[in-house]
Structure 1
Amino acid sequence: MPIRQQPRRTARILALLSLTQVRGNAEKIEQLEINDLLLGAIRSLTTEVENALETAADELNRSNEQVFRSETRTTNVGSAKEMLKDAIALTQKAINRLGNVLELPEFVQLSQQAQVREYAIELITTVNRRQGEINQMLDDVMIDWKLNRLSLIDSNILRIAVAEMAFLQIEPKVAINEAVEIAKTYSDDDGFRFINGVLRKISDQLTK
């Protein structure tokens, strides 16, 4: 059963997951209700589950093909095992994402919905309005890496945290800690470490 979360944590999660689903100008976004945000978040997570399962199925098929061709080649057996391991990991990721889909409505129900809606919309509108500046700030600190090479989840976790630090007067330590905690649930295994490092560089620049 989900534990009660602070309204702003829930708002950050809703903003993160519904960011790519929300369309329109600032005025239209400000008219969205909590259920609109929740629907966008669920659609986003559902798409991720479907993609992860599709990729896992492809890996499983490839590993099966390797097994059938491996009667005389031990190297093929090793390759098939690796593919099977990847397929299992991807399936587990999909199951975890599905759990997030099922828990999200209860998270919102347990939180103070008016505050969740207000802050989620503030985050979405700030990221949309300031996206050029936010993207540039991130690209400037990511050595040998670019924002457009990251997964959509990771890039949006970063954008939301930078929006908070640079434009919404949220203390950098709070914004970074929240981004890392959310990344532990919604990013890949090592994503939260990368996000932590990038945001600390942003924080250093903002406090100079």
Structure 2
Amino acid sequence: MRARTKARKRALDILFESEARGDAPGAVLAQRRETDDAPPVSDYAALIVEGVTAHLTRIDQLITEHAEGDWTIDRMPAVDRTLLRIGVFELLWVDEIDDPVAITEAVELARTLSTDDSPRYVNGVLGQISDIAEHLRATL
């Protein structure tokens, strides 16, 4: 598994745990960085956690606007919701990641970690946001 793929998975774990426990993502991140028995938290994983946290309101707004059907943020499986947040963050705020790479990585994690329908759903939502990403980046 490539370093950035591992970092995305680690960020997903931290953000998912944070939401499930009701703890601040920054607190979970700090706890994971201090724990010797846990897998290490790379700088890129930390960047994702901090970036998703900093831009959460805008990220969730975009996901809501582009979600298919009746799938609100709250109705989505937690893994899908978190993967979409990571994907949107990478699409809009991480310049060194190409849009197709961000989408593919999110889809692959959905394929491994979520429902059978999740890869298609994640691809569809992130694809729509990617289509307007250049415009969105200009307004950030």
TM range (shorter): 0.7 to 0.9
Pair 1:137 & 2:62 matched: yes
Task: Provide the C-alpha distance between the structure 2 equivalents of 1:34 and 1:158, rounded to a whole number of angstroms.
Answer: 27
What amino acid does structure 2 have at the position aligned with 1:140? E
TM-score normalised over the length of structure 2: 0.80
Choose from 109, 113, 117 the match for 1:186. Answer: 113
Task: Provide the C-alpha distance between the structure 2 equivalents of 1:199 and 1:34, rounded to a whole number of angstroms.
Answer: 33
CA 1:35–1:139 in 2, change beyond 3 Å: closer, same or farther?
A: same
Larger Rg: 1
- Residue 205 of structure 1 corresponds to 132
- Residue 84 of structure 2 corresponds to 158
What amino acid does structure 2 have at the position aligned with 1:126? G
Q: CA RMSD in A?
A: 2.4
Runs of 4+ more than 6 Å apart:
none
Task: Provide the C-alpha distance between the structure 2 equivalents of 1:25 and 1:19, rounded to a whole number of angstroms.
Answer: 6
Task: Provide the C-alpha distance between the structure 1 equivalents of 2:55 and 2:17, rounded to a whole number of angstroms.
Answer: 18
CA 1:34–1:163 in 2, change beyond 3 Å: closer, same or farther?
A: farther
CA 1:34–1:14 in 2, change beyond 3 Å: closer, same or farther?
A: farther
Pair 1:127 & 2:48 matched: no
Cα displacement (A) at 1:154: 0.4
Cα displacement (A) at 1:26: 4.8
Give 5+ residue unaligned stretches, structure 2: 136-140
Task: Provide the C-alpha distance between the structure 1 equivalents of 2:98 and 2:107, rounded to a whole number of angstroms.
Answer: 14
Corresponding residue SS for 1:21: helix
Pairs aligned (count): 129
Task: Provide the C-alpha distance between the structure 2 equivalents of 1:198 and 1:29, rounded to a whole number of angstroms.
Answer: 27
What amino acid does structure 2 have at the position aligned with 1:201? Q
Cα displacement (A) at 1:29: 3.9
Task: Provide the C-alpha distance between the structure 2 equivalents of 1:21 and 1:141, rounded to a whole number of angstroms.
Answer: 25
Task: Provide the C-alpha distance between the structure 1 equivalents of 2:116 and 2:27, rounded to a whole number of angstroms.
Answer: 37
Task: Provide the C-alpha distance between the structure 1 equivalents of 2:28 and 2:85, rounded to a whole number of angstroms.
Answer: 21
Corresponding residue SS for 2:17: coil
Pair 1:8 & 2:4 matched: yes
Contact 1:138–1:198 under 8 Å retained in 2: yes
TM-score normalised over the length of structure 1: 0.55
Task: Provide the C-alpha distance between the structure 2 equivalents of 1:160 and 1:193, rounded to a whole number of angstroms.
Answer: 16
Pair 1:33 & 2:29 matched: no
